[in-house]
């Protein structure tokens, strides 16, 4: 097979895989939340209600597509697309497995190992903000515009701590390539701890996680859509599949964010103390590394759901206070200390 064919297969596979996880996530979200609240959740469509996302999708597709009369048409249409596309594209640089050898050809399990994968992720997550803001402003409705305003303020203020947290990782590993970072996290340090970013940068990890929740608009930071105050915030005026794109984009975003978390802080595809490559064949090693990555990712996906049904929503001033008065100073101090340590040890 030519290289472009392999690339095409990888793109299609990872696109379908991300979609599949996102679809299952909508189901997991509803069932797990039900279990946490002593309810049952959707359990009628298919076994365990697994076909519920499909039913929801069909419903959203067949609904009438309404564009409000006073809305800005082009921007209104552009909003959900701008929101969902970056979420899908983030997966392009995620190393979702080590490598697999088929027919003597070594295939790296990553769509493209760009050497600035890091910046790519940051840039795309910044674009996704525009999806919300434009959607909110274009719908010409008071709830939407308030949602859009909140999205602007919130996402701008949480972009900074996220960047600061990621900078510490860059300082540690000295590279922007995600695959390189994962490769450097193999093995152990101090004799017993896995060589993960989490153990080297616990503060950075916490800052990153909090900022990631804010970026993904999840409870406790879901102020842009905030049902109790703003109906549903920036997508109040949306219906049919445009709304579906917003809702679905949120889950794809979660998938991408947890993939980034795993590859930056939890050693990507590698198991902590075991080197899988030693006792597995070339093909099975590739599959095993993919599965390990997925398991770690699944934990963070579940954490998103778990936190959502545990923590209440922040007040707006608390949200801003946390961002500017706690996370940014903490991130700066953390960055300073990390830089000092890196300078002293090398």
Nearer to other proteins, 10 or 30 (CB): 30
Nearer to other proteins, 75 or 298 (CB): 298
Does position 38 interact with other proteins (CB under 8 A)? The reply is yes
Tell the residue number behind the tokens 């999708």, with chain if given: 57
Q: What is the C-alpha R_g of the chain?
A: 21
In the range 181-240, which residues lie near other proteins by CB under 8 A?
Answer: 206
**Residue 215 Cβ vs other proteins, minimum distance, rounded to whole Å:** 18
Does position 333 interact with other proteins (CB under 8 A)? The reply is no
Does position 142 interact with other proteins (CB under 8 A)? The reply is no
Does position 271 interact with other proteins (CB under 8 A)? The reply is no
> Which tokens hold the place of 160?
């900074």
Half-sphere exposure of residue 232: CA atoms within 13 angstroms, side-chain side: 11
How far is the C-alpha of 254 from the C-alpha of 261, rounded, in Å? 10
Does position 309 interact with other proteins (CB under 8 A)? The reply is yes
Tell the residue number behind the tokens 């697999």, with chain if given: 100
Nearer to other proteins, 3 or 317 (CB): 317
Does position 325 interact with other proteins (CB under 8 A)? The reply is no
Q: Which of 1, 8, 16, 35 binds other proteins (CB under 8 A)?
A: 35
First to last CA, the chain: 44
Q: Which of 36, 108, 116, 280 binds other proteins (CB under 8 A)?
A: 36
- Are the C-beta atoms of 252 and 84 separated by less than 8 Å? yes
**Residue 35 Cβ vs other proteins, minimum distance, rounded to whole Å:** 4
How far is the C-alpha of 206 from the C-alpha of 201, rounded, in Å? 9
**Residue 319 Cβ vs other proteins, minimum distance, rounded to whole Å:** 13
Q: Which of 1, 8, 37, 283 binds other proteins (CB under 8 A)?
A: 37
The piece of 33-41, 124-132, 281-289, 291-299 that touches other proteins (CB under 8 A) is 33-41
Phi, psi of 276 (to 5 degrees): -65, -30
**Residue 317 Cβ vs other proteins, minimum distance, rounded to whole Å:** 15
Burial class, 105, CB count within 10 angstroms (exposed 0-12 / middle 13-18 / buried 19+) = exposed
Q: Which residues contact 202 (CB under 8 A, 6 or more apart)?
A: none
Does position 311 interact with other proteins (CB under 8 A)? The reply is yes
Query: ω into residue 218 within 30 of 0, thus cis?
Result: no
How far is the C-alpha of 30 from the C-alpha of 41, rounded, in Å? 6
Does position 310 interact with other proteins (CB under 8 A)? The reply is yes
Residues found near other proteins in the complex (CB under 8 A):
32, 34-40, 206, 306-307, 309-311
């Amino acid at each position: 097979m030519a290289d472009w064919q392999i690339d095409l297969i990888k793109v299609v596979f990872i696109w379908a895989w991300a979609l599949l996880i996102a679809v299952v996530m909508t189901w997991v979200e509803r069932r797990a939340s039900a279990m946490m609240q002593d309810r049952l959740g959707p359990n009628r469509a298919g076994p365990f209600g697994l076909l519920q996302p499909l039913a929801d999708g069909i419903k959203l597709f067949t609904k009438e597509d309404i564009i409000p009369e006073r809305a800005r048409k082009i921007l209104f249409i552009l909003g959900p697309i701008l929101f969902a596309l970056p979420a899908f594209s983030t997966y392009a640089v995620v190393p979702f497995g080590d490598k697999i050898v088929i027919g003597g050809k070594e295939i790296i399990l990553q769509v493209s190992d760009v050497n600035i994968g890091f910046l790519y992720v940051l840039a795309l997550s910044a674009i996704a903000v525009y999806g919300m803001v434009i959607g909110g402003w274009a719908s010409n409705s008071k709830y939407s515009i308030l949602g859009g305003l909140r999205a602007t303020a919130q996402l701008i203020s949480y972009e900074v701590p996220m960047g600061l947290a990621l900078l510490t990782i860059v300082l540690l590993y000295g590279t922007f390539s995600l695959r390189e970072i994962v490769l450097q996290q193999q093995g152990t340090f101090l004799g017993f701890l896995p060589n993960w970013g989490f153990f080297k940068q616990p503060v950075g990890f916490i800052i990153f996680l909090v900022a990631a929740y804010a970026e993904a608009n999840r409870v406790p930071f879901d102020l842009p859509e905030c049902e109790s105050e703003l109906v549903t915030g920036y997508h109040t005026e949306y219906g049919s599949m445009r709304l579906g794109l917003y809702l679905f984009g949120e889950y794809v975003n979660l998938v991408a964010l947890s993939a980034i978390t795993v590859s930056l802080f939890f050693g990507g595809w590698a198991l902590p103390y075991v080197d899988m490559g030693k006792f597995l064949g070339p093909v099975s090693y590739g599959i095993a590394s993919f599965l390990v990555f997925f398991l770690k990712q699944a934990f963070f996906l579940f954490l998103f759901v778990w936190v959502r049904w545990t923590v209440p929503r922040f007040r707006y001033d608390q949200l801003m206070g946390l961002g500017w008065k706690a996370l940014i100073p903490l991130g700066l101090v953390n960055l300073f200390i990390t830089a000092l340590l890196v300078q002293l040890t090398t």
